[in-house]
Homo-oligomer: A and B are copies of this chain.
Amino acid sequence: MADKPSIPKGTRDFTPLEMARRNFIFDTVRKIFKTYGYLPIETPAMENLSSLMGKYGAEGDKLLFKILNSGDFKGKLSEEELVTIPAGKLGTMISEKGLRFDLTVPFARFVVQHRHEIVFPFKRYQIQPVWRADRPQRGRYREFYQCDVDVIGSNSLLNEYELVRIMDEVFSALRLKVVIKMNNRKVLAGISEVIGESERMMDITMAIDKLEKVGMEKVMLELEQRGLGKDSMQKLEPVLKMEGSNREKLEFLEDYLGPSTTGMEGLVEIRQLFGYMEPDTMEAEVEFDITLARGLNYYTGSIFEVKSEEVQIGSICGGGRYDDLTGIFGLDGVSGVGVSFGADRIYDVLEQLERFPGHGEMDTRVLFVNFGQQEVQYIFPVLGKLRNRGIASELYPDPAKMKKQMSYANSRNIPFVALVGEQEMQDGMVTLKEMETGNQERLTPEQLVERLSV
């Protein structure tokens, strides 16, 4: 009967300290999302597998956690089917449901399903866990939280600007120095067009996405392997080597993208976005980065990614505009844009930099020592007064040895201990001891409440 307890690899328990720290992140983003008028929604952990399959590419499909059908899942299958159909396909025949892989596809499904109740433009945020059957490794989990903020039903670039402001405010509230990288899928399409490789846009962007990581030589090698002609590669090189300020890069591209209408459109969008930012004071640096591509296929315009300037780690936030995400569920012509904050990576960065604030206020302020039945009855109404004022207070549940009770207060970092013995009961007082200094005071219950109010 006695199993050695463990949890599935890639998943985690969260202790009270970790919870306080995670809630610091969630509360920060939530508060900022709210001041911009975004509203919360939640969707079920399980979606119909048909809603998830085919939305994240063939690789993504393999990473979906499938829920085995309840009851006789074999029932409808013949023995032959059971034996001959390969696991990948058989899995989808014995599982109708799967765990959500991200919050974007469930959001698209939500919008289509509730479109008659929703007021557009619809600004929503969603903070929930997602699940991926990825190979677990440092900083990559099979269950992790995303904090998504999206607006759907408006083409305006003001939405992009709002999201940039939100990213800036969030990271400045978290006291993290970041750079917000920005690009536009239309510019990437324009580049492919200009070098005469329109149909290879995905290949090209996937390759140059790695520029920072692997360097120019390897990118060129990969492009050659992907079948890019010499001429195209020669035309591409100056873009990849482009340096300087955002303004200088934009000026270079103004010439370069001239022949491509799509490319020029993207450029106008980027200029417009920078235009909104100019008069403002932002904490984060915003950098136009031509090598930023983002893997997901559904992006069609602006794309964003946030990197820490202090810790070497992948992107801690990212997103972009998608012109037809709801189309996969039958609602065409609704454009949206959104970004997703990676709570777990942000956690890792804050931890590494030791930037988490203290969490005194969530912890118990005072422990009443338990000397026995009579004292306990005296303490009850005092506890009531403290708790009514929101002061977290505990009574040790057993009349254990003083040493044991004090050691509990110590281990829990409870700053005050209250002592009530015969003398206190007679005088209607409480003796309060500050753990750090050892100082003791005799107080009435009312004075105690005042003393412990933060």
Contact = CB atoms under 8 A, between A and B. Distances in A.
Interface stretch (A155-163, A193-201, A305-313): A155-163
A94 B83 CA distance: 14
Contact of A380 (B36, B109, B129, B280): B280
B83 A71 contact: no
A87 B67 contact: no
Contact of A113 (B1, B5, B329, B386): B5
Nearest to A95: B68
Given A41-B14, A279-B380, A387-B35, A329 B5 contact: yes
Nearest to A157: B397
Interface string A72-103: 11110001001100010011001111010000
Contacts of A12: 44
B3 A328 contact: yes
A175 interface: no
A430 to B, nearest CB: 17
A143 B45 CA distance: 8
Given A39-B16, A42-B14, A119-B412, A7 B73 contact: no
Copies in the complex: 2
A2 B117 CA distance: 20
Nearest to A386: B35
A48 B6 contact: yes
Contacts of A151: 397
Contacts of A44: 7-8, 11-13, 143
A139 interface: no
Given A397-B121, A408-B119, A16 B40 contact: yes
B40 A143 contact: no
Given A87-B71, A131-B45, A279-B380, A393 B37 contact: yes
A2 B328 contact: yes
B156 A398 contact: yes
A34 B391 CA distance: 9
B156 A397 contact: yes
Given A67-B67, A395-B158, A13 B34 contact: no
A36 B387 contact: yes
A4 interface: yes
Given A68-B94, A376-B158, A129 B45 contact: yes
Contacts of A423: none
A411 B123 CA distance: 13
B15 A46 contact: no
Contacts of A391: 35
Interface string A392-404: 1111011000000
A362 interface: yes
A330 interface: yes
Interface string A203-237: 00000000000000000000000000000000000
A140 interface: no
